[in-house]
Amino acid sequence: MKRILALFFCGLICLSAAGCGKEEPFPSVATEPSVTQEPSTEPPETEPTEPPTEPDPDAPYRARAEEILSGMTTEEKVYQLFMVTPEALTGVNTATRAGEATQQALSEMPVGGIVYFADNLETGEQTTQMIAATQSYSRLPLLIGVDEEGGRVARVSTKLGTTAFDPMADYGAAGDAEAVRQVGATIARDISQFGFNVDFAPVADVVTNPNNTEIGDRSFSSDADVASTMVAAMVQGLQSGGVQSCLKHFPGHGSTEADSHKGASVTGRTLDELRGTELKPFAAGIAAGAGMVMISHMSAPNVTGSDAPCDLSSAVVTDLLRGELGFTGVVITDSHEMGAITDSYSPAEAAVLAIQAGTGRNLMNETYEVLVGIAEAHASTDATLEETCRTRHTEGDHALILVPDVHHAV
């Protein structure tokens, strides 16, 4: 309001000054009496001043993150780049409790987050206790994630009986963005009560290939504009409930046919084609405030110039997502236990390539030993890795400035 008043006042001064100095287009006839001009009582013109810069609401959290980072070793920073299953963390077959093994593992290898699946969830009380104990064992607040998209991918509602929803394609067909916003808010309420603070949703893919079964009805629409509206609404709904959303699977997995869970998956789309369709929902989700983006394992040779999976490509992660779309939040890989990765790369190779490509989090490496190997190989000798880790944690994608609830836990 002060800025508006200042501009309005300056405008009045300019108009007044223009009026006082204006000459008549034709001079008056000589018979008219001359008039002595009285001294002007108008205030002198002043240069408009810029209003004070609005304070950055995230500044205290960024400062706190920087303070914590400065006290961490390179090894600790490497571990923070990974979000793993509790089984990978502890070595047990199926984790349904968090006890001494979890505490010891987090003490020695402080990862940045844990992702849970249906097998980890037995009851609401058990899930709440497991997650709370896990958080209590970590020196830094953990990202606690789950796939709760609605429709056929819904770990929590399937096992714990929370609200179930129809496939997202049905909501896209109905065209009701407010209904989708409510879906997001309900999912956030349902999963946050157990301690989850990250939902790997919404699916922002546009299904342009009718033979695509990996995505299928998980997508809101084959129309990019419809998908964009629904993705933005879901992001708003999730985050209104204090749960961080994660757009997936960048740069758009809807044109492929093969299932990347089982092996290589390729899109022939060009960059211009992606811009005209697939990238639109991601741009809409980012504009709506999504703090995370998951990169797919599909290959896009007409974009990257190689057969490398997109999450191992700097052309996709750094140039396209960070550069062209201007995304400054967390960039996370899809699961590194999927066939598109394991068929061609060792866990360590995939992890290093993903970090070099620009991702800020690696999801679900095959064995936790890969973290140990990376840390031991580079922590004390590789200055480049130290700088890479620091960059990944300060590009706006450190957990401490990601999840609203985490702000207050540090």
| Residue pointed to by tokens 């190997």 | 373
Six token digits for residue 68 = 């914590």
Backbone φ and ψ for 210, nearest 5 degrees, come out as: -65, -15
- Is the separation of the CB atoms in 335 and 84 below 8 Å? no
Single out the catalytic residue among 176, 217, 259, 261: 261
334 tagged catalytic: yes
Backbone φ and ψ for 246, nearest 5 degrees, come out as: -140, 110
Residue type, 360: G
CA-to-CA dists, residue 345 to 88, 188, 240, 357, angstroms: 18, 35, 39, 15
- Is the separation of the CB atoms in 241 and 188 below 8 Å? yes
Nearest to 205 by CA among 334, 118, 304: 334
- Report DSSP state, residue 291: -
Single out the catalytic residue among 147, 205, 334, 397: 334
397 tagged catalytic: no
> Crossing angle, helix 347-357 and helix 383-394, to 10 degrees?
60
How many residues comprise the chain? 410
- The alpha carbon of residue 240 and the mean position of all alpha carbons in its chain are separated, in whole angstroms, by 15
Angstrom distance (rounded) from CA 288 to CA 276: 19
Instruction: Tell me the catalytic residues.
Output: 261, 334
